[in-house]
Amino acid sequence: MGKKTGKQTYQFGNPPIILSTGTVAGPFEGLGPLHEDFDEILTDPRNNEKTFEQAERSMLTKACQLALDHASCSTAEVDLFLAGDLLNQIISANFTAITLGIPFLGLYGACSTAALGLGLGAMLLDGGFAGTVLAATSSHNSTAERQYRYPTEYGGQRRPYQQWTVTGAGAALLGYNGAGPKVTAVTFGKVIDLGSTDPLNMGAAMAPAAADTIFQHFQDTGWDPNAFDLIVTGDLGKIGLDLCRGELAENGLTLGENFNDCGVMIYDLKKQDVHAGASGCAASALVTYGHLYKKFQKKELQHLLLVGTGALHSTTSFQQGENIPCVAHAVRIEA
Amino acid sequence: MSKPKLTPKQQKYQNKAKKTEPKPHYLKNVSFAFISGGLICMLGQAFIDFYSAIMNIPLNEAANPATATMILIGSLLTGFGVFDKLAKYAGAGIAVPVTGFANSVVSSALEFREEGLVYGVCAKMFTLAGAVITFGVMTAFIFGLIHAIFH
């Protein structure tokens, strides 16, 4: 167990490099403050496909191809494809895997999938099991709303604590032949249930899981939180971010200005009227693989802790009155 | 559907989370619903008057074609993608009248048309409205029974 540090963290002896990334954002995300950092922005949420599900899949495929193109890598050179999404049986990832033709490991971490894929991919590389790994995820507002909530044209009023599912896809190519930021450590989280049952208030449900993993990461590594330029959670939104900050403070870990959330960063919360912020697998994927990856390239970022957050409930489990199980995985990325 | 009992730790967190939950603007929502609901009912009344005056339908029967017209309007607004934008402000004002019922049926039918005519549109059309229909039929039956017994 040479690579395991503390209870839940793995530090890499030979840290894998994020060789390239690919991002495709939906039209609404293209109106947000980070629009310049996305490789492609769709003009039509259906992306000229017959269904929204096919549109999501086309975005995921495109993001993967962009990541491969940016590193001038062919699919034949990639050992494993790690991907997942929010739809039942991770159908977007499954179909994308057909197109790519790379041996596929399907992941389900709900909105934590970007961090989960990055962490697992890095482990496979550092363990010597693979030379190049492609990790990707996607979400689509219309497919997620249909599966989890109401039809798109249904006229319901949104709650002020609700979050907006991001339409987009992000992919990262991990390997050793090239330059880029390195994945140096990963902390896999425990599934936490602090009694939340409201699937419309995801931020509050996921905040304890994020706090647990962040706390454990610092316990395990002994790092100083101030050593990070940015500690960013996946999609807690405004309310979840404050709750997470509070939970950490109660455990004696006070985070400062360098603590933020992808779900808060991706939209202009006031102008875009998204209430508490963004959610969905693509929230952390677009922000990390688009915005933050560009910051690494511009040398504006040295140390990043990405904490992907996921609510692991299903429509059946919450209709049967079960609590929402939540998880968070932290990935340390360094220049 | 029995809720699992919360442990003290869970209860403590839920109390905290409840406090951070922003409340909807009740006064704004209620006034918007009052005005929009009133306007919609006024429109409905206008149709009743129209059908009875112009088409010579007795006043107590004119409500039926008027309701059908309101349903048609609600359905068309849903199909053109306008209903949800209106509902964002009108809230209960547009959801409680028959327009809301039309929206719940048409939005479901639209949403699932890719799953085919039978298993998609026809089967899923009532996913939201089904409960309303069931309760409506049950209530009508019970009150019909009471009416039959006491008259």
Which residues are within 8 A (CB) of B20 and not within 5 positions of it... i.e. 6 or more apart? A204, A239, A242, A243
Across the A:B interface, residue pairs with CB atoms under 8 Å apart total 97
Question: Does pLDDT of B38 surpass 70?
Answer: yes
Inter-residue contact A267 to A287 (CB < 8 Å): no
Q: Does A147 touch chain B (CB under 8 A)?
A: no
**DSSP letter assigned to residue A86:** S
Cα separation of B132 and B113, whole Å?
A: 22
User: How many other CB atoms sit within 10 Å of the CB of residue B105?
Assistant: 22
Confidence of residue A282 (pLDDT cuts 50, 70, 90): very high
Place of tokens 């202009």: A268
Q: Write the residue in A155, A207, A247 that is nearest to B83 by C-beta.
A: A155
Secondary structure class of B18 (helix, strand, coil): helix
B56 vs B65: CA distance, rounded Å: 12
User: Rounded to whole angstroms, how far apart are CA atoms A169 and B149?
Assistant: 63
Q: Which of A53, A154, A201 sits opposite B104 (nearest CB)?
A: A154
Asked whether the beta carbons of residue A161 and residue B21 sit closer than 8 angstroms, the reply is yes
Beta bridge partners of A105: A82
Token pair belonging to A333: 């990325």
Looking at residue A150, its pLDDT comes to: 87
CA distance B47 to chain A (A): 23
At A4 the three-state DSSP class reads strand
Residue A157 has what pLDDT? 86
pLDDT tops 70 at residue B1 = no
Q: Which of A51, A161, A195 sits opposite B13 (nearest CB)?
A: A195
The pLDDT mean for chain A works out to 96
CA atoms within 13 A on the CB side of A176: 14
Record: contact A156-B87, CB cut-off 8 A: yes
The reply to whether residue A243 touches residue B16, judged by beta carbons under 8 angstroms, is: yes
A225-269, pLDDT tens digit by residue? 999 999 999 999 999 999 999 999 999 999 999 999 999 999 999
The answer to whether the Cβ–Cβ distance between A323 and B2 falls below 8 Å is no
Cα–Cα distance for residue pair A302/B19, rounded to 1 Å? 36
Residue A80 region, left (φ>0) first, then alpha (ψ -120 to 50), else beta? beta
pLDDT at B2 over 80: no
Which range is least confidently modeled, A83-92, A145-154, A275-284? A145-154
pLDDT computed for residue A2 by the predictor: 65
Residue of chain B with shortest Cα separation from A203? B17
Closest CA to B136 of B107, B98, B90: B98
**pLDDT score recorded for residue A164:** 96
B87 touches chain A (CB under 8 A): yes
- Domains in chain A, start-ordered, CATH in brackets? 4-175 (3.40.47.40), 183-334 (3.40.47.40)
The strand pair at A133-139 and A168-175 is best described as antiparallel
pLDDT of A99 higher than 80: yes
pLDDT at B4: 66
Asked if A33 contacts A268 with a C-beta cutoff of 8 angstroms, the reply is: yes
User: Cβ B107–A320 below 8 Å, yes or no?
Assistant: no
Establish if A149 touches chain B: CB-CB under 8 angstroms.
no
Whether residue A270 lies within 8 A of chain B, CB to CB, comes out as no
Q: What pLDDT does A171 receive?
A: 98
Residue B76, pLDDT above cutoff 60 = yes
Residue B8 — φ and ψ, nearest 5°? -55, -35
CB-based contact A194 B22, cutoff 8 Å: no
User: ipTM score here?
Assistant: 0.89
Nearest CA in chain B to A318: B1
Nearest residue on chain A to B95, alpha-carbon basis: A155
Looking at the predicted structure, is the pLDDT value of residue A332 above 90? Answer: yes
Taking the C-alpha atoms of residue A164 and residue B138, their distance in angstroms, rounded to an integer, is: 37
Tell me what pLDDT residue B93 has: 93
Q: Which two tokens stand for residue B107?
A: 């939005």
Inter-chain CB proximity B20 and A243 less than 8 Å? yes
Render pLDDT for B77-131 as a digit per residue (tens, 0 to 9): 999 999 999 999 999 999 999 999 999 999 999 999 999 999 999 999 999 999 9
Reference A138, options A316, A298, A283; nearest CA is A283
**A46: burial class by Cβ within 10 Å (0-12, 13-18, 19+)?**
middle
Per-residue pLDDT tens digits for B112-122: 999 999 999 99
Best B11, B16, B125 residue to mutate vs chain A (most A CBs within 10 Å): B16
DSSP string, A32-50: STTGGG-SEE-SSTTTT-S
pLDDT per position as a tens digit, B39-73 = 999 999 999 999 999 998 998 899 999 999 999 99
Phi then psi dihedrals of residue A162, to 5 deg: -75, 160
Question: Percent of chain A having pLDDT more than 90?
Answer: 95
Q: Is the pLDDT of residue B3 over 70?
A: no
pTM for this model (two decimals): 0.93
pLDDT per residue over A107-160, tens digit each?
999 999 999 999 999 999 999 999 999 999 999 999 999 999 888 888 888 889
In one-letter notation, the amino acid at residue A59 is M
| Nearest CA distance, A308 vs chain B (angstrom) | 20
Q: Is the pLDDT of residue B8 over 80?
A: yes
The interface residues of chain A toward chain B in range 61-90, judged by CB-CB distance below 8 A, are: none
Residue A66 is predicted with a pLDDT of 98
